[in-house]
Structure 1
């Protein structure tokens, strides 16, 4: 299924989600105070987008292209893959709960660990963009646009706490931009792999879909509903859900 047109679209879509994440990271400099409700609403918005995209752009098209048993296997592999990553990589929340030591060496170590943890969340999003474009360019771009929209507050949410944590600006922004770069890498990897190995495309799509569902259920929902803001969070989720459904319908 390899074609220069598909790969070019994968590259452009990957650059787009990298740009939007980086934009959010840069915007973090403008904010002096960041209400926690904004963070939870934006995360819920992301959860709505990821949940719809995992089905409309990945799992359901994978069923149309391949066996249901392949799709079920892929979803399980997606769950297992993110579960293993979580076990081996520490979460950024652990480091953001307290002030890190004054020693510069400890700060650098903590920041590196935070960057590794962010990869967990960006892996399924980037891969979803790459494999969905290989399957259908229009649906893939709908996924890329929706993920790009939610990447702006996500980039902000990554960089702003680190600005307060480290009392620096450059390093937190760099980490936010780097988190967007990881999405670009996974989008490109997913696009290239399943362009050449197109017979594995249903498996790859269902792996990405399963990984996104796992992240949404395991990471996003527990975080956003941990505060007493159920109404706002649910509205944020609904807006993200409807946004992705609309984009997938119009552009697909």
Structure 2
């Protein structure tokens, strides 16, 4: 049933887009942006999110991203060329790209604290440092959707659906802590929405670039996979395992995300 839904969705989107991949990317990007925005709007009704809820949401996202890195990006890159070399180069480029952004852009994590140039630590407000950290995390997700859409429409839509599902709690995780920090509602919600549309911009950029330079697509798939793996392993997993008291819940959240993405991907097998 889900497989038929994805195939019918792919045919409908192609029809309304007149076969233009950029319009397909626009709709997919709009979907992930809306899901992030809806999650951010939870801050209108809720005062706070339990710490266990934050940990479960982030670990769910990590599970989705780990599987998507391989099934939607790295393995297709290898299969499309019958060689590991382009995928391997792409993975390394993705890791280096996010590593450089991580080091050069000032940002702050709620748990790990400040990262980036020390000279910028006191020049930006804490709220902007937190938002920049979220946007850095969202860049690989947007790139993953955009590049996978160029590779295969149905694979790209599965990736967009899975990323969108985990973007809803991510949007909440962004806006609620900011609302608590600032004692305000509107600005944190707008910050969460901004992070979603930054992700949409990467969907469009990735799709546009690799449509123009299709011969680079295997490298792009590997790069998006490497970038997502870096963010998951270096940023998200240390963040969610910060406290020993919720280890079981975190692990369950990770495997819930793992299974959801694997199930969605298997529908196309």
Do the structures match in fold with TM over 0.5? Answer: yes
Contact 2:110/2:130 (CA < 8 Å) preserved in 1?
Answer: no
Contact 1:44/1:236 (CA < 8 Å) preserved in 2?
Answer: yes
Task: Give the alignment partner of residue 94 of structure 2, picking from 71, 78, 82.
Answer: 78
After superposition, the Cα gap between the structure-2 partners of 1:251 and 1:145, relative to the gap in structure 1 and judged at 3 Å, is farther
Task: Give the alignment partner of residue 213 of structure 1, picking from 211, 221, 229.
Answer: 229
Asked if 1:20 corresponds to 2:66, the answer is no
Query: Partners in 2 of 1:76 and 1:214 — Cα distance?
Result: 10
Task: Give the C-alpha shift of residue 112 in structure 1.
Answer: 2.7
* Residue in 2 that maps onto 1:49: 64
Q: Unpaired runs of 5+ in structure 1?
A: 99-105
* Residue in 2 that maps onto 1:249: 266
Query: Partners in 2 of 1:242 and 1:97 — Cα distance?
Result: 31
Contact 1:141/1:251 (CA < 8 Å) preserved in 2?
Answer: no
Contact 2:112/2:239 (CA < 8 Å) preserved in 1?
Answer: no
Task: Give the alignment partner of residue 36 of structure 1, picking from 15, 34, 51.
Answer: 51
Asked if 1:173 corresponds to 2:189, the answer is yes
- Cα shift readout 1:39-78 (whole Å, capped 9, x = no counterpart): 0011010000000000000000000112311111110111
Asked if 1:188 corresponds to 2:204, the answer is yes
Contact 1:49/1:241 (CA < 8 Å) preserved in 2?
Answer: yes
* Residue in 1 that maps onto 2:15: none
- Cα shift readout 1:68-92 (whole Å, capped 9, x = no counterpart): 1111111011111111111012333
Task: Give the C-alpha shift of residue 251 in structure 1.
Answer: 4.4
Task: Indicate the larger mover: 219-228 or 202-211.
Answer: 219-228
Query: Partners in 2 of 1:111 and 1:230 — Cα distance?
Result: 28
Task: Give the C-alpha shift of residue 96 in structure 1.
Answer: 9.5
Contact 2:48/2:176 (CA < 8 Å) preserved in 1?
Answer: no
Task: Give the C-alpha shift of residue 118 in structure 1.
Answer: 1.8
Contact 1:90/1:114 (CA < 8 Å) preserved in 2?
Answer: no
* Residue in 2 that maps onto 1:237: 254
* Residue in 2 that maps onto 1:103: none
Q: Unpaired runs of 5+ in structure 2?
A: 1-17, 115-121
Task: Give the C-alpha shift of residue 107 in structure 1.
Answer: 10
Contact 1:22/1:177 (CA < 8 Å) preserved in 2?
Answer: yes
